[in-house]
Structure 1
């Protein structure tokens, strides 16, 4: 079996040594930010259309757009609906007259583990309704992403939250000290296969573990500066960037193994 048949055979293991940094949010001392330096200093970059194998076998051209995107909340829906109004049949292959036609009712596991109603983008012929296929005159890829570029704004302003955040994972935890004081912890890490839930282990391929997606000379904390700023706030991102730069200068001990396949000493 070739790599093309089974690209995940080249992926690195999910568990390996990582370096982490913790610091207080400069604008809120009650918030502790915990960030995965091994991930943020890795050489990962999106290789959609340039070597991406896709999350479903035989659907490399879809990248990770196969199943549609679940919306996080009402604000997410409103923002994408507003962006979709800017699309036309010339820029959106699966143009829909109404936003309702571009969405589908589904379910996600709630906090108690029970299924709860959820809204996602619809799928057409096995991929997200906003995904323009190769050969479409308006261009291959996300119609919302392309429209943002045309409008001179960052794609995070138009795309569903889950789409622009990937593969950054943001979690919230509670830290309780022995003296009874508490802090909220914001955790920034790699969205690996486990981030998708049980189904993530069945994906045909996933890029964060794949050496072929770790060939960038620009670290994730730099290439994803707008996304990290949106997730953390400008002040917290600024401090994170300072700490990442200092760590890179001093030498990262726990280099991401997928990056190490391309650059043994890191980027």
Structure 2
């Protein structure tokens, strides 16, 4: 489904921004099942979820936001606080396009992952800090962490008359989104019925994340289309995500 930018500066001009959204994914019943059925991306580390590899920062601003949050963590909320303070909580990995900064991996998983048995609870220390402060986790976590499994991509579309517009796509970050490495994942949530057990569809459960990605006016328009689709779903069975359909069975 596509729709132009809501309330453009010049409503009579051709749209300069168009949103292209995968409603099959956004109306699916996927939900994060970390700690309640998540098998982890690697079979030998099921308790890590998708935190095994650490998180790559999208840019310097992303890292600065996380750094500000790290200052508010302590040994009571962050299992690896001592190691993170002493040895650092970032590292550099050589990527296809050069060095990439990311969160450090300690004992086989992200330095911010509190393991089972930690008194403050298992899971991301940054996520827990956000909830304790009454904030959205996206305000403290690396971009890649809070965006998954949403995927935002951009492309410039050329019109026949020589003009162009920016297309922003919001879709599922499925196994293929990881590139060739996706084939090495032992388990991945978006395509598994085990994770399609949400009480509400993705466009509602991830409303904060979608709003951050495309803005409040565009989210409102997206939600309107999703609500219209869910109301007609029995008439359009092909719009149901295969894993959601499998979960119902």
Query: If the TM-score is normalised by the length of the shorter chain, which range does it land in?
Result: over 0.9
Aligned to 1:189: 171
Q: Which consecutive residues of structure 2, in runs of 5 or more, have no partner in the other structure? A: 9-14
Contact 1:54–1:205 (CA<8 Å) still a contact in 2?
yes
Deviation for aligned residue 1:262: 2.3
Q: Secondary structure at the match of 1:236?
A: helix
Instruction: Identify which of 88, 92, 113 aligns with 2:78.
Output: 92
Aligned to 1:69: 55
Aligned to 2:67: 81
Instruction: Identify which of 88, 105, 115 aligns with 1:101.
Output: 88
**2:157 aligned with 1:168, yes or no?**
no
In structure 1, C-alpha distance between the alignment counterparts of 2:87 and 2:159, rounded to whole Å: 47
Aligned to 1:256: 241
Deviating more after overlay: 136-145 vs 247-256: 247-256
Q: Which has the higher helix share?
A: 2
In structure 2, C-alpha distance between the alignment counterparts of 1:76 and 1:27, rounded to whole Å: 29
| CA distances 1:112-135 after superposition (whole Å, capped 9, x unpaired) | xxx311100001110000000000
In structure 1, C-alpha distance between the alignment counterparts of 2:222 and 2:157, rounded to whole Å: 20
Q: Secondary structure at the match of 2:154?
A: strand
In structure 2, C-alpha distance between the alignment counterparts of 1:230 and 1:54, rounded to whole Å: 26
| CA distances 1:231-260 after superposition (whole Å, capped 9, x unpaired) | 001100110001110111122432111000
In structure 2, C-alpha distance between the alignment counterparts of 1:138 and 1:79, rounded to whole Å: 23
In structure 2, C-alpha distance between the alignment counterparts of 1:105 and 1:90, rounded to whole Å: 27
Pairing 1:1-267 to 2, within 5 Å after superposition = 21-28=1-8, 29-96=15-82, 98=85, 101-109=88-96, 115-251=97-233, 252=236, 253-263=238-248
Report the TM-score, using the length of structure 1 for normalisation.
0.87
Q: Which consecutive residues of structure 1, in runs of 5 or more, have no partner in the other structure? A: 1-20, 110-114
Deviation for aligned residue 1:217: 2.7
In structure 1, C-alpha distance between the alignment counterparts of 2:104 and 2:17, rounded to whole Å: 37
RMSD of aligned alpha carbons: 1.4
Distance 1:51 1:203, change over 3 A: same
Deviating more after overlay: 27-36 vs 170-179: 27-36
| CA distances 1:35-57 after superposition (whole Å, capped 9, x unpaired) | 00100000000000100000011
Aligned to 1:16: none
